[in-house]
Structure 1
Amino acid sequence: MKNIYNYLKTLLIPFVFILQNCSKVSAQICSKTNPINCLQFEPLARLWNVSNEEVPELLDLEKILISLDSKLQPLLNELYFGGTYLDIKAGKVNVNTVDQSKVDEIRNKMKNYQEYLNFIAANNTLSQLNSTFNQTFILAQQFNLTNCIISIEPKFNNVVIYLSMDDGKNKEFIENVETFNPRPIIKLLPNEEKEEILFNSSTLVEKRILYTLVEGGSRIVHNNGIACSAGFWMKKNNEDFIVSAGHCYINFPALFYVYSIQNNHLIGPMGEHHIRLYDIGFIRKTNTDIILRPVIRQFYRIITQFLQFLIVGSSEITSCGVHICKAGQRTGISCGLVSAFNSVQTIGGLIRIRTIVVPMDNNAGDSGGSMFRYNGLNGQPNLANAVGIYIGGFFGDVAAGMPISIAFDFNYSLVTHNI
C-alpha cells in the first residue's frame, strides 16, 4: 500500500498540521504494543484489508478526500461528467469523465489538489443516469415491485437495480428496463433469512447484567414479540426517545421492551412513526428504570468480542466510497463502503427515498440498528458519528439505511457523549 503519510504531508489545506499531529497521537493510541485499543479498528481494518495500525491514517485521509469531493462536485457539469467516488487506499477522488476536453478546466479550478484527482474515461453522463434513474423508478411503481433498490452508483457509472430473484413479477419489469439508454445493471439477489447467529454463554451473562441499559444495536421487542434493534438516543421537547425503523411498529398499542433472557423491561410506546417515503420511528421512554446511553455496544463475531463506541456527533453521507458500519442485534457489527446515496427503495408497495446503499452483512432483526462512521479524532478507536439507521435490503448482501438527518427534519436532536 502507498505510504499514506506522504499524502498527508503534501496536502495544501489549512488543517495539514493538525493531521500530522493526529498521526503521532494515533501511533501511540493504536500500536502493536497497545493491541487492546487496536481491536476497536478490526471491522474497518478487515474492510480495507489493512492492519489495525494503519486504520487511523486512512481515516485521516478519508476526511481529506471527503472535503475535496465536496469542493469538486459543484464544479462538475452533469452534461460532461458521470459522478465521483473515493478510493481511500489509493488516496484518490475518481471522476467519471465523458468529455475529456473539460478536464483542464477542472484541474485549473482545483490546482492545489492535483495529485488527489483521477479522471476516468466514462460512457454515461450524470444527466443520462438521472434520466434512466427516473424512468426506472416510474416503471418500478407501475409494476408494484415487492423488494427493489434503485441507485446511481458512480463506481459502475450506471444505474444499479437490486431485485429479488424469487419474485416472478420481475421478468417483465426487466424486459422493459433493458430498453433504457443507458441500460441499467440488474443484480438479482436472494431475499431469504440466514440462520440466526447464536451468542455464546458469556454474551448472555452480560445481557442479564445490563438489562436496563439501551444502547445502539440493543435488542428491542415489540409487544407482539417481533424483535428489532435500537438506533440512537434522541430528544424532543425535553423527552427521551430511541430512534428505530418505522416498520417495527406492527400494530397498536406499539409498546417496546428491552430484551432480557429473564424478563423483558418496558421502554415505552412508539408514537411517531413513518413508513411512506421514510422508514423511521421514535420510541418514547416512559420507564424511569430504563437507562439510555449515547453508546454503541455490540458483538463483533469475527473476533468474538463486544466493541463499544461513544457517539460524539453526526455525519451526512455526501460521497460514495466512504465507510459505514452497522450495529444490529442479529448480525452485530459489520462494515461496508457506500455505493450510493439518495437512492430509492420500494418494498411491499411502499416507497422509501434518500436511502443509503452499502454492501454489508445484515439480516432480519437488525432493523432500526445504528449505522455509524468511525470519527477518528486523534486516532481514537472508540469514537463514532451517527449517520443513519438500518431499514432493510437483501439479507447478507446489500443493506439500505435511512440517514439520521431525517430525524433532525422531524425536530429530534441527537444525544452525544462529551469528549
Structure 2
Amino acid sequence: MPRWLPRAMVLALALFACFQLGSWAFHQLTGLLINILIAFFLALAVEPAVSRMAHRGMRRGLATALVFLGVIAAGAGFVAMLGSMLAGQIVEMVEDFPQYLDSVISWINTTFHTELSRVELQDSLVHSDWLQKYVQNSATGVLDVSAQVLGGLFQLLTILLFSFYFAADGPRLRRALCSVLPPAKQAEVLRAWEIAVDKTGGYLYSRGLMALISGVAHYILLAALGVSYAPALAVWVGLVSQFLPTIGTYLAGALPMLIAFTVDPWYALWVLVFVVVYQQFENYMLQPKLTAKTVDIHPAVAFGSVIVGTALLGAVGALVAIPAVATLQAFLGAYVRRYDVTDDPRVHGHRRRGAGPPLVRLRQALNTRSDAPPPPQQRTAEPPDQDL
C-alpha cells in the first residue's frame, strides 16, 4: 500500500465531513441569512435619509432611530386601518347573515319547489358532527396560529435590529470591510456600495411615490362609488400593488372588488375595469418616467429577475430582485467598454436590399439575368490577304 493512500483517505473523509457540517449549518441558518439580507436592503433604502440628517449635524444613531420610528408608525397605522376595516366588514356580514340566508332559502324554495326552513337548517347545522369536529380542530389550530404570529413578530424584530445596526454603523462597517482589502479593491467596493444605496433607495422611493398616486386614484373611485372604508382600501391597493411585484396588482384589486360586490355587483365590475385601465397607464406612462433615473432596467429584465428571485428566495427574492439587478447592471456598466454603433440599416430593424431566404435571392438573380440584354458579339479580326 502506498504511504500517501491512508493520508489521502483521511483527508477525503475530513473534507466530506466539513462539507456535510457546512451544508447542515447553512440549512439551519437559512432563515437568519434571509433576515440579514432583508435587513441589509432595508438599511440601504434608509441610508440616503440617515446620511442627509447626519450631514446636518444630527448624530447618526439618533437619525436612524427617527427614520425607523417613522417607518414603524406608518406600518402600524396601515395595519390598524386595515384591521378596523376587516373587523367592520366581518361584523356587518355577521349581522346581515340571517337576511342573506333567508333570501337564499326563499330563492331555493321558489326555484326547486322545496320547503326549507332557516330554523331547521340552523338546528341541523348546530347538532351536526361536522361542526363539532371543525370546532375541535379550530381549537387546536389556535395554538399553531399563535405560534406563527409570535414567530413572525420575532422575525420582524430581528430584521429591524439588524437593519438599525447596518444603517447606524454604516461608515464603520465600510471601514471594517475596506481594512481587509488592498487600496485598488477598496475603491471598487465603495463604488459598488454607493451604487447599491442609490439604486435601492431610488427604487423604494419611486415605488412609494407610485403607491401614493395609485392610492389617491383608487380612493377617488371608491369614494365616488360609496364603498365603505375607502381610505383603508386605497392604502391597501397602493402598497400591495407596488411592493409585491407581478402578483401584487391582482391581490390589491381583489379586496376592493369583494367589498364593492357587497354594495352592488356592478360596482365590482367598475372597480375591475378601473384597475385594469390604471395598470396600463402605470406601466406605459407613469412607471417609465419615475424609474428612468433610479432603476433604469428593461421591463423584460425586471420580470425575469422577479421570477428568478421568487424561485430562489420566495417573496423575499421577489422584493429584492429588482434593486439587486439594477445595482449589478449599474456596477457592470461602469467597467464595460462601449463602442459607437454603425449606421447599418439592420441596426434599426430594416432589411438590406436583396436580403431574404436563399430561394428568393436565387429567383431574383435569375430574373435579373433573363431581363438583361444579350452581350454584344465580339468581332474577330480577319486575317489579311496574303499574296501567293
TM-score w.r.t. structure 2 length? 0.23
Query: Rg: which structure is higher?
Result: 2
TM-score w.r.t. structure 1 length? 0.21
